[in-house]
Every structure is written in C-alpha cells, then in structure tokens.
C-alpha cells in the first residue's frame, strides 16, 4: 500500500519540512492589462467600480475592455467578473467632478451578458448609492466636499444627485469598532427594520436614523445611503411625458394594440396593465421568464415604445439602437401594504426585484394624473413614514423585508410641498420612494428620493486578456 502523500502546508501557512517550494511564474500576466477595481453591492445590484483613468477613453477600445472585464458575450461570463444577470453585469467609472457644485462625476455602464452590449444610455439607481460610498472610500471627492454629503453628477443623463452617507466609511471595520455617538456599525432597527425618521439635512445636522439598514431583497445589512434626484423629469427625452399625453396606444408587431403610459423620470419607462397581458400582476419573475411568447410580446411593446419616444426609428431598430431603454414595467392594483404593484423587465427578462430608476419613475407616474400607474395607485402624503408591512408574492420565499420610508435629504425649491411617499411592491418586497412637488397642487416634480444600502465586497486587480 503506498504511503500517504505528505501535507506540504502547515496550519500557519508555511511549507512543511521536506516539501519543495514550487517556483511561481508571472509570465501569463505579462501579456495582460491590469485594472485596479473595487467590487461593490449597491441595493439589489452589484457592479465593478473603477476610476475613470483606469480604462481607455470613450470609444471602441474602452467598450472592448469593459466587455472583457465582465466576460461578455458569454451566458456564463466565465472569463470575467460579470454575474450572469442584468443586475450584476454593470460597471461604474468615477472621477473627481469637473462640474461646479459637485464632488464626483460617475458614468454607469450596463453590459450585455450573451450579447456584446455596452450601453451608456441610462443610470442605475442602486449603484448610484454605491458610487457615493466608493468615492468616499477612495478619496475622490472634491476639496470643498461637505461631511456626509456627496454631490454627484451622473454623466449618462447630465443629472445632479445628492447622496447622504451617515458617516465616512472606514475600510476593514471590525466587530468592535464604533461609529459616531458610540453606535456600532451593524446597528439596525427592531426586527431588522431599516433606518427610521429623517436623514441629516444638507447643512450636516444629524437626524435620528441608523448607520446601517437591511432593505427588501437583501439578507444582510449595508451602509444606509439616502439619494435624492434633483430636477429628475425628462433626463432622456426632455419631458416627463415624452408624447405630451399620459396614455398612448401602441401597435407592436407581436400581439394586438395595447394602451400604455410613456413616462420619463430618472429613466424612460413603458407602463402597461397586467390585465391587458392576461396576468394578475403578482406573478413571480421565474414564472414570467418561463413564457417565451410573453417575453417576445413584452419586448415588442418595449421596442414600439422606444420608437414612439423617439429613441429608435422603428421597432426593429430599437433592438440595436436602444436595447436597454426604455424599460417595460407591468402595473397592477396594490394590496393594503403598498401603493402600487410592479413587475419590471430588464434586457428582455423579468427583473428579480425592481430597478431603482424604474421605481422612481413609477412613483412619479403614480403622482401624474391620467397615467396607468396613477389609476391604480393608493397614495398618502406623509413626511415621516416607516413601513413595516410586507408584500407576499407567489415565489418560494417568505414575505420579504420592507425598505424604510424616509424623508428625502432636502428640497430644491423654497415653495416645495412636503414629500409624498409612494410604496412600490415588487417581487422581493416593498420600497418607498419620496416625491417632492413644486407646490401642493403637484404641478411639477422637483425631486425624488430613495434609501439604498451599499457594501464594499472586494478590492483588487483584474487582468484583461492580452
């Protein structure tokens, strides 16, 4: 019987006596391009964060580098850092701001999985919160930055977004570390609820809210970040209602004509009733994705909406010229614990939760008379709301957590009305969006806000193929 093979690594990591140390070679790395990066979770999305100068300038070379970084096109994204899902196939480029009154500029990139798509058309609300934390941790803020406030300029849409972070995050915070006022960084509210009460306002005063929160769709906590989108209407098409009407009728190539609402706030969205698709509206994403005929119908409606919004010349061209925007979102009447139920799509499939820019647009549409979301929405004005109800779907999970309702960081007009909260129920739970209007009549939406969490997952170097 042969002797057992000796273990050549001791518990302390050193080689055991008598074992040969193998010589390491870095020959393979010499032909690769090294990219320093940070992998971060933001809300229910995950993305690769790099400084703007880590990649080539705008153009085909940068696009090729981004595809290689995530391992696309490949359904498994095996040779890169993509996560095989639209929510985890994302890149964010960050730099100190070149715009007065802002601290950082960031560019969001949605990357295709099985198709070589590198799309700069829209923004990601989840990773917007992570961009603020990344900039703080990497020391990228401009010299006049205020403590706890990150003033961001989104380069995709030319949009100003303010993010409130409760305390400057510290890398490698251990379990015994404490934050301001002696709070531990893992503090959460009762029963794992998120932050309660107001966030700090823009002159830096602290409100009664916690450093960390657990939001719907997430099993763990993260640093709580309040984001407020200023002057958010029409970032892509130039108008809240791109056609000037709250409802339109589209004639897609798949299926018959259908009534929709085309709304552009934070991102352009095509809203459609669940009932008009033969759906209840509370179906699980897996059930929707298992119906190829339905997905083809949804994509056809989305593409027809892109053409009607002026984002593509016609439905056929939308697949190439505008594959990401607009998104299509299905709306249905809410249960008592919510104000609106949505089922969102992204890159041709039902989304596992709800993109934040979709939720922001849905909340604004619920406040805009005549739209399909407005017809279904149950809306109540409440400046200080904390939701504790949950929304149960027909998925194989229990009722999900509910994001805490919070007051948006501030207002952009002295005569603005108090924020109205809109609770959006999605497959993973419920999130609360605050909508601020220019006056009590709601004639103009001046800001929308939402709370997300962010967490640094990894810092290191990626090597692109030579």
pLDDT digits (tens, 9 = 90+) for 335-390: 999 999 999 999 899 999 999 999 999 999 999 999 999 999 985 433 333 332 33
Top-confidence residue, 183 or 23: 23
**Considering Cα of 171, then 177, then 183, then 186, what sign does the dihedral take?**
positive
**Considering Cα of 329, then 331, then 334, then 339, what sign does the dihedral take?**
positive
pLDDT at position 263 is: 98
Beta carbons of 390 and 182 less than 8 angstroms apart:
no
CA nearest neighbour of 270 among 287, 289, 290, 250:
250
pLDDT in tens, 379-411: 543 333 333 233 333 333 333 333 433 333 333
Same fold for the domain at 30-174+225-231+456-464 and the one at 248-453? yes
Rounded CA gap, 121 and 58, in Å?
Answer: 14
pTM: 0.77
pLDDT at position 326 is: 97
pLDDT in tens, 77-135: 999 999 999 999 999 999 999 999 999 999 999 999 999 999 999 999 999 999 999 99
DSSP state of 146: P
For the chain, the average pLDDT equals 80
Rounded CA gap, 23 and 25, in Å?
Answer: 7
pLDDT at position 217 is: 64
Alpha helices in 333-437 (DSSP H): 356-366, 372-376
pLDDT at position 220 is: 81
pLDDT in tens, 447-460: 999 999 999 999 99
Rounded CA gap, 437 and 395, in Å?
Answer: 36
**Considering Cα of 372, then 375, then 379, then 381, what sign does the dihedral take?**
positive
Question: Is pLDDT at 183 greater than 70 in this prediction?
Answer: no
Residue 105 CB neighbours (<10 A)? 21
Phi-psi category of residue 191: left, alpha or beta, with phi > 0 → left and psi -120 to 50 → alpha: left
The fold of 248-453 is Diaminopimelate Epimerase; Chain A, domain 1 (3.10.310)
Distance of CA 199 to the CA centre of its chain: 20
Distance of CA 222 to the CA centre of its chain: 14
Beta carbons of 419 and 385 less than 8 angstroms apart:
no
pLDDT at position 419 is: 78
The domains of the chain are located at 30-174+225-231+456-464, 248-453
pLDDT in tens, 1-18: 555 444 444 444 444 444
Beta carbons of 233 and 463 less than 8 angstroms apart:
no
Distances in Å between the Cα of 410 and the Cα atoms of 142, 202, 375, 419, 421 are 21, 7, 28, 10, 14
pLDDT at position 379 is: 59
Domain spanning 30-174+225-231+456-464, CATH class: alpha beta
């Amino acid at each position: 019987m042969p002797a057992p093979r000796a273990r050549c690594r001791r518990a302390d990591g050193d080689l055991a006596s008598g074992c040969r140390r193998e010589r390491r070679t870095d020959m393979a790395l010499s032909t690769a391009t090294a990219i320093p990066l940070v992998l971060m979770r933001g809300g229910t999305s995950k993305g690769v964060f790099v400084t703007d100068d880590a990649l080539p300038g705008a153009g085909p070379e940068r696009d090729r580098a981004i595809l290689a970084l995530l391992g696309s096109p490949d359904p498994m994204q095996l040779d890169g850092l993509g996560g095989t899902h639209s929510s985890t196939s994302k890149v964010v480029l960050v730099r100190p701001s070149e715009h007065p009154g802002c601290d950082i500029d960031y560019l969001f990139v949605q990357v295709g999985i099985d198709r070589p798509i590198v799309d700069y058309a829209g923004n990601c609300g989840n990773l917007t919160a992570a961009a603020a934390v990344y900039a703080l941790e990497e020391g990228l803020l401009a010299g006049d930055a205020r403590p706890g406030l990150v003033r961001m300029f989104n380069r995709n849409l030319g949009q100003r977004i303010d993010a409130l972070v409760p305390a400057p995050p510290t890398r490698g915070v251990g379990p015994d570390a404490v934050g301001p006022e002696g709070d531990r960084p893992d503090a959460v509210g009762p029963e794992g609820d998120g932050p309660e009460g107001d966030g700090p306002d823009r002159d830096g005063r602290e409100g009664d809210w916690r450093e960390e929160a657990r939001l719907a769709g997430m099993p763990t906590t993260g640093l709580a970040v309040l984001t407020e989108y200023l002057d958010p209407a029409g970032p892509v098409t130039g108008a809240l209602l791109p056609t000037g009407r709250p409802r339109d009728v589209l004639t897609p190539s798949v299926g018959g004509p259908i009534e929709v609402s085309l709304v552009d706030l934070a991102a352009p969205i095509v809203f459609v009733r669940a009932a008009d698709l033969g759906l209840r509206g509370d179906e699980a994403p897996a059930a929707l994705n298992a119906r190829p005929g339905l997905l083809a119908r949804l994509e056809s409606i989305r593409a027809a909406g892109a053409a009607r919004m002026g984002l593509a010349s016609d439905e056929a061209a939308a697949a190439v010229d505008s594959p990401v925007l607009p998104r299509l979102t299905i709306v249905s009447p809410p249960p008592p614990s919510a104000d609106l139920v949505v089922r969102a799509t992204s890159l041709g499939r039902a989304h596992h939760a709800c993109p934040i820019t979709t939720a922001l647009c849905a909340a604004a549409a619920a406040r805009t008379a005549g739209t399909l979301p407005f017809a279904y929405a149950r809306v109540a004005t409440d400046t200080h709301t904390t939701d504790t109800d949950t929304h149960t779907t027909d998925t194989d999970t229990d009722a999900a957590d509910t994001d805490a309702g919070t007051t948006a960081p501030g207002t952009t007009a002295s005569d603005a009305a108090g924020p109205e909260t809109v609770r959006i129920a999605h497959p993973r739970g419920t999130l609360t969006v605050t909508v601020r209007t220019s006056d009590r009549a709601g004639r103009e939406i001046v800001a929308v806000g939402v709370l997300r969490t962010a967490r640094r997952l990894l810092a290191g170097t990626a090597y692109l193929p030579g």
